[in-house]
């Protein structure tokens, strides 16, 4: 029978007690008691091997006056109940040890020694069979699987390969999870590289919340065969979509894609594409349509490839400590010059490839610089360039960001020589709108949206990935959602809405105006707007109602959206949410149920 007792801090376990505890852990009876830090260290050294052998789990809880209630034993093993248990465990010199036979081993002592918080607790473990809080003789659901490789070689982070299974020990941080790896020990891993074991996210065919156009590109990547598929999240959140490569092959080199809505039953008790066939889970649905087409355009054959995510930070430690020593940066190649400084390709600790912006001395105060960097750091979206760190201790200031290998969209378009088709151009419009929709939702105004401030990364199935950059002018909107620029501030007139250029009033709607100019840049392959006009003439012409004509080759519906963005009445301009939906659905007509028309002539995307 398990035991429960207390003792004062100055009492320590003697050798007989240690031997007795080892025996109890060996036979599965176990007990719990407060331990000092010295005992934690000693216990960890003495018992880790024994506990691993017995497939047991232990955790330390801050003993802030909470006491152990009665312990219970059964055929399933010993379980302790705590009268008052905080939801998050904190490191403390006095901690509580729990032993639960039949669950997985965890090396939390190292995590505890670093004063980190613990999130996987005996009071929060869920049984895999749903039998009560703990269940009987089952492992707790606290395993994760790597869905991408991660190799950082930084102290505190843990390296792993795709498919590795690990114990989740702390998930209190949204971006970094603390895990135990069977071979590599314990450490932090980026959350977006992991999925809970047996979750939808862990499936090879699940792509999460991605654009429809990106889904189409992925099922065609690398000349994959008919039936290549993925499942993505839709709006509303309870719905999903199945995207299938329906290419027939042949001499015409025609690519076709089908999208099917996956709807939930009321109450979430099942899923279906057609009500004639209902499945308990999406996994069951995929298994069925893998065996037979069942009315779909094709049987499901291969999962489409996934795109590796961007790391949330340089490492776990820089998530909060993002002022880094400049000695940790290696500047390798100059990428360009700007009004405020230079841009370099570099590495951090010779491990992570980054872009480094140097700020000319005197450009802005350290207070203003850090305030603007803080806004960038808080923005986390796949279509916004990620800020990693800054260096402000000495001149010049450094801004360290995610590296986008193909530079600015403006230069990329000018160098393209019109090889990008309408499909690719529309896709880039949707990507930018997605990033701006995120800023819109956070009531952030960019103030300098233009092709020069959109960066281009790798091609995905022939279409460039683009992200919004340069938040140097970004501001949080307050009050009436208007930001008033300082007197004497300079603006890029040809990209700036009339009310912002004239009165200095910036809103999300003035960003929408700039987005319309960006559309013009994209469909003219990087031409400067209002060709032949100087700034004063542009302002005068806009006051008289002038708007640029439709670019050659630009589809009429897209030009109509440009004109909406340039409405004199800011309130009548569309939202970025609307613009994103327009471009993401541009090639798809809404038909009853789930089968949109084919997408033709995507061969340019496969080059």
Q: DSSP states of 444-482 as a string?
A: EE-S--SGGGEEEEEEETTEEEEEE---TT-EE--TTT-
Could you tell me the two tokens for 123?
Answer: 């009071």
**What is the DSSP annotation of 293-322?**
-TTSSS----BPPPPPPPPSSSSGGGGT--
| Coil vs helix vs strand at 583 | helix
Indicate which residue of 157, 170, 246, 448 is catalytic: 448
Q: What are phi and psi of 430, to 5 degrees?
A: -65, -40
Q: What span, in angstroms and rounded, lies between the C-alpha atoms of 382 and 404?
A: 13
Distance, CA of 398 to CA of 214 (rounded, Å): 34
Count CA within 13 A, CB hemisphere, residue 462.
Answer: 22
For the question of residue 149 being annotated catalytic, the response is: no
> DSSP assignment of 9-23, as one string?
TT----HHHHHHHHH
β-pairing, 277-279 vs 387-391, is: unpaired
Q: Which residues contact 440 (CB under 8 A, 6 or more apart)?
A: 508, 511, 575, 576, 577
Helix (H, G, I), strand (E, B), or coil: what is residue 328? helix
Q: Can you tell me the distance from the alpha carbon of 112 to that of 35, in angstroms, rounded to the nearest whole number?
A: 13
What's the burial of 540, exposed, middle or buried (CB within 10 Å: 0-12/13-18/19+)? exposed
Residue for token pair 């598929």: 229
Nearest to 207 by CA among 227, 243, 232: 232
Task: Name the residue among 82, 74, 7, 18 with its Cα closest to residue 50.
Answer: 18
Is 357 labelled a binding residue? yes
Measuring CA to CA, which residue among 400, 401, 402, 384 is closest to residue 446? 384
User: In terms of DSSP H, where are the helices of 545-599?
Assistant: 556-565, 576-584
Contact partners, residue 556, CB within 8 Å, separation at least 6: 550
CA-based nearest residue to 416, from 525, 528, 529, 552: 525
Maximum Cα interatomic distance, the chain, rounded to a whole number of Å: 93
- Total count of residues recorded for the chain: 607
**All residues at 6 or more sequence positions from 154 whose CB lies less than 8 Å from its CB, including other chains:** 314, 315, 317, 349, 351
Strand-pair category, 68-72 with 165-170: unpaired
Residue that the structure tokens 């003789």 belong to: 137
Judge whether 121 and 91 are in contact, CB under 8 Å: no
Residues belonging to the binding site are 357
Residues belonging to the binding site for ATP are 357
As annotated, the active-site residues are 448
């Amino acid at each position: 029978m398990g035991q429960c007792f207390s003792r004062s801090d100055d009492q320590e376990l003697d050798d007989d007690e240690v031997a007795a505890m080892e025996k109890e852990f060996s036979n599965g009876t176990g007990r719990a008691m407060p331990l000092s830090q010295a005992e934690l260290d000693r216990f960890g050294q003495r018992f880790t091997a024994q506990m691993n052998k017995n497939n047991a789990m232990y955790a330390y809880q801050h003993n802030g006056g909470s006491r152990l209630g009665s312990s219970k034993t059964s055929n399933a093993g010993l379980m302790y109940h705590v009268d008052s248990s905080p939801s998050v465990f904190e490191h403390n010199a006095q901690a509580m040890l729990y032993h639960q036979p039949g669950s997985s081993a965890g090396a939390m002592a190292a995590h505890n020694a670093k004063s980190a918080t613990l999130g996987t607790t005996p009071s929060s473990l869920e049984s895999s069979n749903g039998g009560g809080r703990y269940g009987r003789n089952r492992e707790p659901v606290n395993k994760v699987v790597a869905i991408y490789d991660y190799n950082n070689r930084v102290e505190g982070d843990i390296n792993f390969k795709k498919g590795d299974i690990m114990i989740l020990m702390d998930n209190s941080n949204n971006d970094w999870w603390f895990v135990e790896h069977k071979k590599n020990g314990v450490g932090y891993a980026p959350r977006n590289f992991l999925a809970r074991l047996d979750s939808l996210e862990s499936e090879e065919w699940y792509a999460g919340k991605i654009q429809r156009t990106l889904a189409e590109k992925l099922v065609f990547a690398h000349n994959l065969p008919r039936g290549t598929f993925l499942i993505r999240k839709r709006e509303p959140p309870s719905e999903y979509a199945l995207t299938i490569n329906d290419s027939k092959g042949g001499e015409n080199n025609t690519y076709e894609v089908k999208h099917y809505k996956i709807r939930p039953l009321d109450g979430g008790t099942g899923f279906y594409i057609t009500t004639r066939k209902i499945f308990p889970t999406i996994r069951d649905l995929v298994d069925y349509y893998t065996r037979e087409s069942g009315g779909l355009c094709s049987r499901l054959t291969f999962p489409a490839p996934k795109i590796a995510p961007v790391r949330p930070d340089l490492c776990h430690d820089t998530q909060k400590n993002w002022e880094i020593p400049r000695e940790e940066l290696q500047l390798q190649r100059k990428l360009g010059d700007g009004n405020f400084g230079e841009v370099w390709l570099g590495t951090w600790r010779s491990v992570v490839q980054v872009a480094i912006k140097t700020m000319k001395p005197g450009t802005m105060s350290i207070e203003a610089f850090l305030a603007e960097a803080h806004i960038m750091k808080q923005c986390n979206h796949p279509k916004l360039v990620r800020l990693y760190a800054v260096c402000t201790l000495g001149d010049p200031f450094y801004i360290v960001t995610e590296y986008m290998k193909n530079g600015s969209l403006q230069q990329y378009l000018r160098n393209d020589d019109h090889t990008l088709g309408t499909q690719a151009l529309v896709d880039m419009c949707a990507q930018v709108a997605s990033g701006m929709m995120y800023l819109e939702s956070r009531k952030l105004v960019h103030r300098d949206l233009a092709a020069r401030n959109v960066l281009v990364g790798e091609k995905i199935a022939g279409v460039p990935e683009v992200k919004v950059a340069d938040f140097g002018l970004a501001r949080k909107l307050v009050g009436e959602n208007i930001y008033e620029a300082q007197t004497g501030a300079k603006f890029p007139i040809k990209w700036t809405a009339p009310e912002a250029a004239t009165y200095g009033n910036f809103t999300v709607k003035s960003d929408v105006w700039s987005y319309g100019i960006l559309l013009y840049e994209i469909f003219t392959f990087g031409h400067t707007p209002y060709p032949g006009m100087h700034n004063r003439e542009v302002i005068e012409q806009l006051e008289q109602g002038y708007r640029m004509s439709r670019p050659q080759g630009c589809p009429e519906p897209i030009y109509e959206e440009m004109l909406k963005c340039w409405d004199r009445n800011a309130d009548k301009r569309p939202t970025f949410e609307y613009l994103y939906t327009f471009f993401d659905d541009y090639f798809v007509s809404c038909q009853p149920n789930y089968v949109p028309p084919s997408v033709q002539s995507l061969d340019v995307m496969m080059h």
